[in-house]
Structure 1
């Protein structure tokens, strides 16, 4: 494998509806059961189910002052970043913080705060708006807050490519390292999609599953009876480093990031290219970037939202890339729901864990695939497998696609 270059993952912080640490997340997801539940925050809406991160106490994690001035998507990001640095055994202030970057993927902003502030404005109460309304809500602040919290003083920004944001952020972070702009980058994504505005808007678009009785059966990626996704939330932050930097400080390497590809469908604002052309292009770019072929890939972590058009297009792309026989596939959103801008980062982290454990997590709620588009999708329980390379893919509104290739150390 002789690609453009590689970076290594030395730390990982993960918060999902399946738990707030990697071991708990893996154990919970290994049951193959969806975590969708009725959400009190969405009561009265056409679709009132979601997947929530359990038992997160922002005050206990961050302190009362910091927790009080941040919204939930930033709570999730900061906790994940702290845990990733702890996992990597890094104190950024003790080294060269000007060589440490932060690149986070955020699909939107904090709609909870915006709705509250817009309501006040619409009621003619402009002077009652919170002075924190903007700084706690705009997407770039999540990267800025991580820098303030950790002392990282290198390049600092967020990227937004809808539901591909987390994947795009990790690819861009790798580019910064390969370009020599940084020695270390904290990267990933954070989002809390459980807002009433998000739920109502996606319901109006008929993107959410209305098969909610029971909620656990609502999200069915690649199933012939799929009907849409379930909203979720979460964050994942990876510590990416130059291999030389990691070796110099004796860091444990969890995995290598060896390939990245990105593309645009240039087709439609919300619908994917019906043949999955852009998704296929991103995957092939990642393979070329890594200097490997499709035959080298041992596992695919698919985007798998359970929308009719999205899953169909993705299946066609995978079948073409892998010449009708894709390696074992999983779709994490069947269990975790769809964390939008954070989804790709969460799935990247789970792909790293799959390589570490040499095991593939199951997909929930799959009983029958579309005829002619059948793939080897892991269901029911984790599947042990020997693999050296794994692929994680994401797609988003605007026709934006991204793919990452991870390898064992």
Structure 2
């Protein structure tokens, strides 16, 4: 992702209405990804957890938005302090920002940049929720989002994208969030589930998705919104790099979906809709950090490798015994690591920069830089997230009671259910429950 740069007054850019409009559209597309994620996750859980899963994504829209306005944007993109964190008091509460004041070095207003970045900050903690399905108190989850965004996401965003951030200065390439978003969320998910433990009945009871059409709808919305997520991260549309990223997003996603399905057919004997949706998301994850650096042929390789490895990785939870409910670790953590590290091999030198990977004659220099960014973010997020979960669990409690989990977290936490079947049944059941005038009218229709 492009970041702030200092320019000479003579070279200072002027506001571009075209780029401003383009970035506002991209921001809206990224916002749509959070409801898309809610549908994707919501369809993958059992009926009794559907609303809770939807709400775990939707609440992030509220909490992170307010934190971003109050101090998050300042922490992530303010003036660097020690290559670790940013701060700009003029941005606290988004005060003292002019309507046409430009983001340094670019042709879009600061307000446009900050709202685009806000949508990234919103969806990242929402990604974590898929690993925690069925068993987390909603109040504890909301508090976790606020704490995690403050001590994990905002600093990591500064490391990776903020001017002066250590990963940015080292030259770690992360076009749109392989480290800051996907590895960050996947490692956090692993840290939390290691603390809170498994669902009741894990590896014993069937926990199949209750609505695969809902999963496919969510995957489609994610795929659609991801074009804004990725192509918009160049912060403009003047030199073709955003267009390359757009193409590579489509190409890698297609390759990953096909690779996942082929693996699934060989391994399990069927092409499943869940596999198609999961494979597509794995490709989207992997191309997010790498799409600006690789060619379309490189994007095919990145997508295919990610689709295969993520398909293999989702089964590790059964072998290793951690309950990653909806495969956040297997898809987002593994996909983010694969996509970030493959830059060191497939970077063509003809995209966002002249950096070349091993297969293009550049040696392993960039690969080692990618390793530094990947494993630093992974370790930091995993450890701090586990600590936050431990503190919350020991104070207010992270998990609902076993009885509430078995009966259904929707009713326990939200006093609602996703589907109301009370009106279902045959004619006799309907007329028996109906008021006398309605029952009489129904009887006359039958007699007629």
TM-score range, shorter chain: under 0.3
Higher strand share: 1
**Could you state the TM-score of these two structures normalised by the residue count of structure 2?**
0.25
Counting helix residues as a fraction of each chain, which structure ranks higher?
2
Larger radius of gyration: 2
Normalised to the residue count of structure 1, the TM-score between the two structures is: 0.27
Higher relative CO (Cα under 8 Å, sequence separation at least 6) belongs to: 1
